[in-house]
Structure 1
């Protein structure tokens, strides 16, 4: 209560979007914890629709974020990069100083390419490029991007993704990082801050835990 006036997260309009909630629950059954991040990502895709260029995602897991990217996009192809072997080996930059954080291990968050393709079978503007980041980035080196979603949790693949995609962003384009503001992903935070400092820009930290870089 604020005085006699009730304040509640339940009053947020996005929580009344039945189609979004139905899609989210179908893609992530029993896991409501990233609804706000998926909604925010979808809104950035909608903003990017005013720009030329393609879209990409680094670290797509079972395809929930990719589903909402493809759903919101009005043009261009969505390129998806994932090892389908889980995380690579963490390095020292990925060790959190927080006592309550479980450390990452190689192979965490593994899934199959077949699962991803099944979940995204309703979209035909998607290209899946399996392999460790950045092995297959050279295949899209001639393209320009309006939005890139990075969700790889660890320092080195985050850095590799940022170093490749930032120069390939169109002016006004966005890099949305899923794990920038989480204490269990210190390597991802460090990689983004290093890239921003080198480029003379900054990362916008959102209350969802996401971080956003806008190309100026």
Structure 2
């Protein structure tokens, strides 16, 4: 945050202005105005897009964001005090800064949404990247103009299953869709452990039905089982519970799938003993991940693909450990993908 006030809440004078520009320790960070610009200048910025996309590293991302919002608002000076309140607020709750000068995330979003249509797509990308870096620098944007984001039919498929505003598995679903193309030439059925409402199962069915394959779907439909010693504290029993009727309805247009309701691995034995070309594991926890690999791996044909949806996320340490433990004595390597999935190709 930016702080243009002295500790007593008095606007900085030439004598104390330098101290108002200081930075404090990261755990108490109050980002202050650098010598190259004053807070008052932010409300009068005439070219915010140039500031936002500039390589001038004297400006912090939060100052650039403030300049962007102030200058693009209908009345920059009128809203300047409110925006300044957001960026000048002391995160420790200091009484020296008026708590009335706070702008909500919703208000900022509304302002940005109003002005964004005037930007080019690349400018929007640049703005989004800078905003992300200011708020969550750990996240790294990928290259602009990735063509898979233009796949409107895939977007419409995903939106049928997504919770409102939740695009968290969009890239993972797309990767599964593309990986299925790599097993078209192989014999074997498809398996999914942990199918929830059937979003990934639909992709499996779309790929399987024209080839006469079977898709075998396993889920308790009572949510997750009890987490074990390797699973951390994120999950609780019963999460992701859903009616089997819902997935049956979602996949009703396909006649290639079998749904097995029950705890893993109890129902595995009820599936036919066919070769397997593709396995998708999305059960979050150590034991069901291990049990799925143990039961189906030997039946996976050479060149077949195994994807663990939960491999690379902090919330699922047990799933990653199960995959690593299982393949440690084997020749196959596990590729940790930037989507958070783990990928194995059977040798």
Same fold, TM exceeding 0.5?
Answer: yes
Question: Which runs of 5 or more structure 1 residues have no equivalent in the other structure?
Answer: 96-101
Alignment partners' CA distance in 1, 2:262 and 2:250: 19
Structure 1 equivalent of residue 160 of structure 2: 26
Is 1:136 matched with 2:259? no
Q: 2:296 aligns with which of 165, 179, 190?
A: 165
Q: Radius of gyration: which is bigger?
A: 2
Contact 1:54-1:146 at 8 Å conserved across structures: yes
Report the RMSD for the aligned CA atoms in angstroms.
Answer: 1.7
The ranges of structure 1 where at least 4 consecutive aligned residues each deviate by more than 6 angstroms after the TM superposition are: none
Alignment partners' CA distance in 2, 1:9 and 1:15: 12
Deviation sequence 1:129-176 (CA, Å, 0-9, x none): 110000011123621100010000000000000111111100100111
Alignment of 1:59-74 (within 5 A): 59-73=194-208, 74=210
TM-score normalised to the size of structure 1?
0.91
Deviation sequence 1:46-89 (CA, Å, 0-9, x none): 11111000001000000011111212334201000000000000
Structure 2 equivalent of residue 13 of structure 1: 147
Alignment of 1:1-216 (within 5 A): 9=143, 11-30=145-164, 31-73=166-208, 74-75=210-211, 76-95=213-232, 103-140=234-271, 142-216=273-347
Alignment partners' CA distance in 1, 2:167 and 2:189: 29
For CA contacts below 8 A with separation 6 or more, give which structure has more relative contact order: 1
Contact 1:174-1:213 at 8 Å conserved across structures: yes
Change (3 A) 1:43 1:177: same
TM-score normalised to the size of structure 2?
0.57
Structure 1 equivalent of residue 91 of structure 2: none
Equivalent residues, number = 208
Alignment partners' CA distance in 2, 1:179 and 1:115: 23
Secondary structure of the corresponding residue to residue 225 of structure 2: coil
Secondary structure of the corresponding residue to residue 134 of structure 1: coil
Moved more, 82-91 or 134-143: 134-143
Secondary structure of the corresponding residue to residue 226 of structure 2: coil
Secondary structure of the corresponding residue to residue 11 of structure 1: coil
Deviation sequence 1:69-116 (CA, Å, 0-9, x none): 212334201000000000000011001xxxxxx621111111010011
Contact 1:27-1:119 at 8 Å conserved across structures: no
Secondary structure of the corresponding residue to residue 181 of structure 1: coil
Contact 1:144-1:170 at 8 Å conserved across structures: yes
Contact 1:148-1:176 at 8 Å conserved across structures: yes
Report which of the two has the higher share of strand. 1
Secondary structure of the corresponding residue to residue 329 of structure 2: helix
Deviation sequence 1:162-196 (CA, Å, 0-9, x none): 11111110010011110000111000000000111
Alignment partners' CA distance in 2, 1:215 and 1:156: 21
Alignment partners' CA distance in 2, 1:79 and 1:47: 19
Secondary structure of the corresponding residue to residue 321 of structure 2: helix
Return the offset for 1:200: 2.6
